[in-house]
Structure 1
Amino acid sequence: MNYKPMKALICAVSVFLLLICAVPPVKVMAAQTPDSGQFNIDLICGLEGYSKYDSDVPVRFQVTNNGDDFTGEICLALSFENISSQRVGYTYPLEVSSGDTQTIQFVVPNLGTSLEFDISITDEDGEECFSQNLRHKIIYSDDFMIGILTDDFDAVNYLDGMAFYTDFYEMYFSSRIFSLDQETMPEDGSVLKAYDLLIINDFNVASLSQTQYDVLTDWIYNGGTVMIGTGANYEATLMPFLGDCLEGAAAGVENVSTNFGLDGYDYLRRSTPLQYEAPSAQIVEEEAELESSDEETADDVELDGNEGTEESSVSVSVDSFDTEEDVSFISQPLETVEPLEVQTAGISLESSQGYDDLLCQSVKVGDGTIIVLDFDLAVGEFGRWAYNAAAVQKILIAAAHVSDYGSLTDDFISDYYAQDMLSNFIEDRVPRLGPFVAVIVVYLVLISPVIYFIFKKKDRRQWMWLFIPVTVVVFTGIIFFMGRMMSPQTPYINYAAILKSYSGKVYEDTYFSVTSPENQEYMVQTEGDYTVRPLYTNLYAYNSYESGNNSDGFALNLTYGAGETDINAKYVHAFDSRYFIGERETVWEGSVDVDITFVVDHYEGTVTNHTGYTLEHGFLKLGNLVIDTGNLENGESYNIDSRNGVVIESYYEIPGLIFGKPSQKERMLNGFVGALRNSGYSSYQMEPGNIFCAFVDGYSADITTDYPLSGNALLWANVLVKYSKDGVYSVPNILYESQMITGDLDGMDGCFYSDEIVFQYDLSSANFYPETLTLTTPMDTAFIGCSLYCPKTESYEEIFTDGQWTVEGDDLTKYIDSSGCLRIRFFKIDSENYAGIALPAVSITGREY
């Protein structure tokens, strides 16, 4: 039989079947073309395209629906220029009626000068109905970012380009202003952190939504600074805050003649207006090159000055994105400034620091500051005055905490220190050394004496060639499986919750890390209305967010829902931690009541726990004194006497003082105090640091997961010290409430590095007669000198000599000038000494009237 035709047929059929198998299956479905015109998307990154180097970049999307009512999701996949392997997705619910616009605001890390978003909108069935790619250029700057909430932005544009100088870095920087209104005012607290200062003027605060108002006040409590202009508009700008952030009263308007004490003021200004570049968001077509738009516009800002006065200037180069601007910063002494009539409101605020010559007062609110002006920044003669910018500049320097980083806001804990607080292990999950040592001892006993003597006695020494390899394999297997059983097999989570208590409000910042022991993706969910964002720190390698060769994949995707956030991480490297922060205002039924009074030479009072939790490893820090309060059960009190406290020279000493040996809590506290210490470094104001801290037993972060979870919660509360008792008024250290005039200051540890440093203490609003001024120095008096300024002789006089560190009576009052100010100067005895010199504590005592 001829089998050749049959073989040919079989081969043909086989080839046909192979071809069918090689063709991928095709899913038959109805043709569906996304409607590219249904949505219009506007994107602005940064503050109108600008951002500071050391802050996250705010992002604002506006999605306008041109079609029918829509419900679905929008995914915003972010990648960075030159870091294309990082893809982080932000997914939000999208519910927008026909013709309406939905605004989405959040922040992203500042890892590149160009942000690119792949935008995808899906409907309720999960079908994609819109996609677009937008790219936005970011201009990074050292400028002082000011948001102005006003209905008349043009009237305050003289605030643009105000110049400031920092001694520590020998750096000039300028103010850059941005308009805010009811529509653009953020509803996300992380977005407000992009501003160094917020000014409210000629605006009805009551017109803000409740969410916007809550975000604003929360930002203040957490370190933000707000300046409020009042005058005839005080009811619109100030009254909504009274009874909430502020306590006091406001009523009536009168005209006051003033020149804001500008006679002889050294006014620093720019020689040229700031340059602005219009924000540019461009649609990126496939395979198309992006054409950058470099059109620059300048604000019409006129800088006025005294004619005929001497000016000194310094020329510097100001880097801004890829351009370089040559600017002269001019120091212009103002000799004689004619006063003007200003319409002022009658404002009286509790717990305020008054500046009568500047027509303002400042109030510490939580970690933030509210500066209330008695006048309107734009209305009347002041808005047209040639020296209005100089007056505002002087107010900011006097009444606000301006750091050497060119900021008025305090980052409570920078991302850099988050890693220090998170211990990358799970208690009771770390392999114990003991069992491994026991197995190794048994192995050594078997492999040497036992095996040798047994086989030698039975004259079977040739069996050792078999038994020894088998023993090695068996014990290797035992060690391997013990390690597998005793080590984490799934991702594990560490968290450090910081609870900040301010006047009945408690804010929670929960820092957490997720670590996978294997190349394994994971999902974690947070609940309880956290605002969650990823953390990028200087210690954090960029490649931890690599998405491989999959251009459609996410290294990280955050899906935001009602009161919860899902975190999905892919392309995970073994033991490569990823860091996040969740922020929220939490609700406590109780509080910690701290009642402390300074009496002549010591602190006394009580700390009472009403939180509903047990407080562990607590301590009270009062200036440079630390008092260990130990553990406090709910309802328990601790009696304070600072004479039993321990004097410290630095924040860094606290963890070792509270904990006898290293532990997870000790490491968290060490990172926490390190962050506090760093936030006040090199400032213009001494930080009193009167705080109470304790670990909260039983408080847990709202993180939902099947993975092992470990962490601690640390309560942090400001302490308000009372200075009056039985008619005696005693201030432990007036430097905490003084303005630094000249010098380089380490505000947290109270050291100065310059040859001299000068402080001014304002007694004009004091309600006591000063009787005694005493200096207590931790340094050898051979290293530091001190003198007081005498208004009559217009010179400094060294009165603290020969071991005499107290001045009282008429010898003290002659150094207080007519405006109620006392100026004190410290200097290094050896000007060649470049080390930091610890400042003395300057206490003052008097009788109340």
Structure 2
Amino acid sequence: MGKHKKIAIILLTAIIMILGNYKNVQAAEEDKLKVSHTYGFESVYKWGTLVPITVEIDNNLKNIDGELQIELPVFNPEVGITSNDNVTLYTQNINLPLNTKKKVTLNIPISRNITSVKMNIVEGKNTLLSKDLSLGTALNPEDFIIGTLSDDFNSVSYINKVSIDSSSMGKRNFNTKLVKLDENSISEDANVLKPISVIIINNFDTSKISSSKYEIIKKWVNNGGMLLIGTGPSYNKTLSIFKDNFISGDIGNVSSVETKSLYKMLDNNSTSSMKLDALNINIKDSNAVIKEGTLPLVQRIEKGKGVVAVAAFDLGLNPLTNWSLNSTFGEKLIGNNLPNYYNDVNTYSRMVNGGGYNISYGLGNIPELPIPKASNLIIIFFIYIVIAAPVNYIILKKKDKRELMWVTVPALSIIFAIVVYFSGSTTRVSKPVANVLSTIIIDDKGNQSIQSYGTVITPKKSDIKIEAKDDMNIRPMVNLDYYDNRQNVDNSKKSKTIYSKVTSSPKTAMEFYNTGVFGQYNFIVDNNEVKKGALQSEIKFNDNKITGTIKNSSGLDLKDCYIITSSAYVELGEIRNGETKNINEPIKNYTGNTYEMLDNMFGRQYGGSPIQSAKQIQEKRVKEQKRMLMQSYFDSFGGRVTDPVFTAITDSQVTKDILVNNDTVKKYSKSLVVSNVELSYINGDKAEYPLGSIVPKVSSLSNKLAYDPGYGFIHGDSGEVEIRFQVSGKVKVESFELKQNKGNNPHGPNFQPLTNKGYIFNTAKNSYEECDYNNFTVGQDKVSQYIDKDNTIKIKIDTTGLNQPGTIPQISVKGSVK
């Protein structure tokens, strides 16, 4: 025993010495290989977005030809991953000679609220350094980041608060963070800029911004950002890059202007004034939101989903910088000019969170993939049961060989398994396939903006590497539907399973390991190809029909075409490329809820009676895919159509091939085509707005109530809600009708109208009077009593006793052209 004890002590001592030496060597290597990092924009970022993490490596160890890795925990119940034991590696190859420094930036999709990630520097199979990189606490997706490009950041830092008077939730104050930007921190990827809500450019030489980054800024605006530009004496610097038609107009001279307008913006009764050095600038297609006399001081231009606001003065000079009310002014300046989708909390929430579920579900549904006929399988199994049991038993009983059932039953099972295998051979998927869903938005100039999402579906367990062909690129898809708010990720645990690996350079490749049978592996497709092709329309509403023509010069063959308004739609069928379609279709009404509209178009694809035949299943899958494409688009801007749009489906290929393990795979694709259309409600000298075509605006409501314009209903507790209907100023209203908004969805639930007391504002009496929305029609003799000078009709509803969501009334208007 003594001898064995000595040996054990010697071995233990040796192990301790080895471990101690290992730690000393590791510590020595860490001293020679030092890293520091930055993240987000000055350590500010939002979860649910693409976050730039920059690692600076100081290499005094040896020549390194390896890889920088950042580990990100995978939490995705969609593929059965619900723990922190799986990670995705985001990597970039590094070649770092001895005694050199290098910065490496990786854009990481942070889809959950975590406070650190693990970084590795590896060479071959050797890990040279592992270190936790702290990320601090992320902002929520709906919080506000203001980025400033200025040579004097502090001079405009008074713009540090954002609030907005919301039609659905009253006044909302946003949690706001300010960050400094420069020409280097503007990313080459528009998705990295997405978490920034507002970019201010003031007293900054924009010519330092590269042309490619300028295009990124324009794309960021069109996708929903707000760009605020200060000019005044420094206008040559701030406007130097805007040489195209993104911002165009006439520029005059800078002069001193005495103005009360900025004070009146805060208090309409104010008589105070200040002197500003203002630039005489008139911007094409703009709206002057602040002006002094005829001189525009702040002009607003809508660009796609976003906004550009241009101030005629420098935002960072006196008297603004020393003005005691400058913070309130900055808050109003931003809040009053934000893109329209901020006006409703639900719309804004859908914009920032997206419709990830609809896209993911739609990608996994490939109607073109054949499925076995259920009737064939039922017949095969019926024959098997009959032969394996009674027939087999009777035959063996007659031969007095019943003990052979131990052999015959397994043999019959094998035979019928082979039969089932070959009966499904025509429907079997033996190789990975790709599915790509796109949205193509066509503007009035024929520019086609394409957003594509893809997936690869694998028929068996394997390791796969996904890449895009030619100049197309892919990137990971952040799934906000599976947000996990656990912050304490255990990076010290050694036995992590590598679920996937994303290599960003020279071109993005995504690798997935040990994929599941029919696993679904999603990604975003960035197609750098610029496409052009217009949709030209001349349509009007007349006698409960939409009439006119649509010419398809998009380069795409279109099917399942619709014109959709805020309360109605018409189905147009197919319009092939080059074809001009004559339209004379009666409208189909809906309440404004796009879910109801899609139920009416495609039927309710969830619940209901079981479907038996392969043909019915196929039809259901086709409708589901179209529905998910359309619903994802509607959800991206709040779920309600406010301006008339044309939508269609196309099978045309708009993306390049997808490679799996260096081989081109079979690719299925569908695209939703969307284009705004001008729908005229004027026919000759007469005007007619059908029920629901004028979208109601909630002007005020009690604190305990909320309005969801996406679904078109009021919900909450008792209170009052005031609503206005704005009629075009070109129309002289001669009659109108208010009517309860009753659902018309045969496939699903309908929200009931508010049935409490209703009131309408009498402009002649300057007060509200009670009315019945079930039957309230105003003719030409009394219409002037209810139309104010702005051509607006106002109503009020008492919601006392409200115990379920209720829809608000709709209006129809008839009149003549002024």
What residue in structure 2 maps to residue 639 of structure 1?
Answer: 582
Deviation digits for residues 770-795 of structure 1 (CA, Å, limit 9, x no counterpart): 555745545379657453485x9765
Q: Which residue of 2 aligns with 1:79?
A: 72
1:339 to 261, 273, 276: 273
The normalised TM-score by structure 1 is 0.73
Residues 697 and 723, structure 2, Cα contact 8 Å, conserved in 1: yes
Question: Which residue, out of 647, 656, 675, partners 2:632?
Answer: 675
- Map 1:535-554 onto structure 2 (within 5 A): 535-539=478-482, 551=495, 554=498
Partner residue in 1 for 2:553: 610
The C-alpha deviation readout for 1:700-757, integer Å capped at 9, x for no partner, is 5432235554342222233355677768888888965978455733223443447444
Question: Paired residue for 1:803, among 762, 772, 776?
Answer: 776
Residues of 2 paired with 1:723 and 1:251: CA distance?
40
Is the counterpart of residue 745 in structure 1 residue 718 in structure 2? Answer: no
Q: Tell me if structure 2 keeps the 8 A contact 1:196–1:225.
A: yes
Partner of 2:520: 577
1:80, distance to aligned residue in structure 2 (A): 4.7
Q: Is the 8 A contact 2:112 2:485 kept in 1?
A: no
Summarize the Cα distance change of 1:761–1:35 in structure 2 as closer, same or farther, 3 Å threshold.
farther
- 1: CA distance between counterparts of 2:259 and 2:51? 42
Cα gap change, 1:455 to 1:128, in 2 (>3 Å): closer
Provide the rounded CA distance (Å) in 2 between the counterparts of 1:237 and 1:382: 18
2:602, 2:350 → 1: CA distance?
32
Partner of 2:464: 522
State how many pairs are aligned: 733
Q: Which amino acid aligns with 1:637?
A: T
Asked if residue 404 in structure 1 is aligned to residue 345 in structure 2, the reply is yes
Question: 1:739 and 1:72 mapped to 2: Cα distance?
Answer: 62
Q: How does 1:489-500 map to 2 (within 5 A)?
A: 489-500=430-441
Query: Aligned in 2, Cα 1:410/1:227: closer, same or farther, shift over 3 Å?
Result: farther
Where do 1:775-814 residues align within 5 Å?
777-779=739-741, 785=758, 787-788=760-761, 790=763, 803-805=776-778, 811=784
Match in the other structure for 2:800: 831
CA contact (8 A) 1:259 1:338 kept: no
* Equivalent residue letter for 2:273: P
Paired with 1:846 and 1:67, the residues of 2 have a C-alpha distance of 82
1:384 is aligned to: 322
Equivalent residue for 1:231?
Answer: 232
Structure 2's unaligned 5+ residue stretches are 1-26, 76-82, 604-615, 742-752
| Residues 757-780 of structure 1: CA deviation (Å, up to 9, x unaligned) | 4467899xx984755574554537
Pair 1:749–1:435, CA change in 2 (3 A) = same
Pairs within 5 Å for 1:306-321: none
Assess if the C-alpha contact under 8 Å between 1:362 and 1:371 holds in 2: yes
Query: Hey, what's the Cα distance between the residues in 2 that align with 1:447 and 1:554?
Result: 46
* Contact 2:32 2:59 (8 Å CA) reproduced: yes
Residue by residue over 1:671-697, the C-alpha shift from the partner in whole angstroms, topping out at 9 and shown as x without a partner, is 334334544559xxx851422222222
Task: Name the CA distance, whole Å, in 1 between partners of 2:815 and 2:244.
Answer: 32
What one-letter code is carried by the residue in structure 1 that aligns with 2:800? S
Q: In the alignment, what sits opposite 2:259?
A: 257
CA contact (8 A) 1:80 1:112 kept: no
Residues 420, 84 of structure 1: CA spacing in aligned structure 2 closer, same or farther, 3 A cutoff?
closer
Q: Percent identity?
A: 17
Residues 46, 138 of structure 1: 8 Å contact kept: no
Give the conservation status (yes or no) of the 8 Å contact 1:493–1:515: yes
Q: Is contact 1:188-1:215 (8 Å) kept?
A: yes
Report 1 or 2 for greater relative contact order, CA contacts < 8 Å, sequence distance ≥ 6.
2
Matched with 2:501 is 557
Equivalent residue for 1:474? 414
Counterpart residue number, 1:179: 180
Question: Within 5 A, what are the aligned runs for 1:81-480?
Answer: 84-92=84-92, 104-120=105-121, 131=129, 133-142=131-140, 143-163=143-163, 168=169, 172-238=173-239, 240-241=241-242, 243-246=244-247, 248-254=249-255, 255-260=257-262, 262=264, 265=267, 336=270, 338-356=272-290, 359-400=297-338, 401=340, 402=342, 403-404=344-345, 410-411=351-352, 413-424=354-365, 427-447=368-388, 451=392, 462=402, 465=405, 468-478=408-418
* CA distance in structure 2 between the aligned counterparts of 1:472 and 1:830, rounded to whole angstroms: 70
SS state of the match for residue 537, structure 2?
A: strand
SS at match of 2:133: strand
**Aligned mates of 1:728, 1:207 — CA distance in 2:** 54
Q: Secondary structure at the match of 2:384?
A: helix
1:44 paired with 2:47, answer: no
Contact 1:251 1:345 in 2 (8 A): yes
Q: What are structure 1's unaligned runs of at least 5 residues?
A: 1-32, 266-333
Which stretch shifts more, 429-438 or 630-639?
A: 429-438
Aligned-partner Cα distance in 1 for 2:247–2:780 = 37
Q: Which residue of 1 aligns with 2:607?
A: none
TM-score (normalised: structure 2) = 0.75
Whether the aligned pair in 1 keeps the contact of 2:59 and 2:96 (CA below 8 Å) is no
Counterpart code for 2:313: F
On the 8 A contact 1:149/1:203 being kept in 2, the answer is yes
- Matched AA of 2:801: E
Structure 1 Cα separation of the partners of residues 755 and 235 of structure 2 = 53
- When residues 595 and 256 of structure 1 are mapped into structure 2, their CA distance, relative to the original with a 3 A threshold, is farther
Query: 1:619 offset after TM fit, Å?
Result: 1.4
CA contact (8 A) 1:161 1:175 kept: yes
* Residue 366 to residue 568, structure 1, CA distance change in 2 (3 Å): same
CA gap of 1:639–1:242, structure 2 versus 1, over 3 A, is farther
Letter in 2 for 1:510: S
Q: Show the counterpart of 2:15.
A: none
After superposition, the Cα gap between the structure-2 partners of 1:601 and 1:473, relative to the gap in structure 1 and judged at 3 Å, is closer
Deviation at 1:568, TM superposition (A): 0.6
Q: Amino acid of the residue matched to residue 538 of structure 1?
A: D
**Separation (CA, whole Å) in 2 of partners of 1:505 and 1:630:** 24
Listed one character per residue, the Cα deviations across residues 515-557 of structure 1 (whole Å, up to 9, x for unaligned) are: 44544321111233335123334348999x9999875863211
- Counterpart pick for 1:628 among 555, 571, 574: 571
CA distance in structure 1 between the aligned counterparts of 2:386 and 2:234, rounded to whole angstroms: 89
Q: Which amino acid aligns with 1:157?
A: S
Q: Is the 8 A contact 1:746 1:752 kept in 2?
A: yes
Distance 1:546 1:416 in 2: 28
Residue 360 of structure 2 aligns to a residue whose secondary structure is helix
Residue from 815, 830, 834 that aligns with 2:788: 815
Structure 1 counterpart SS, 2:523: strand
Distance 1:747 1:648, change over 3 A: closer
The 8 Å contact of residues 76 and 120 in structure 1, kept in 2 or not, is answered as yes
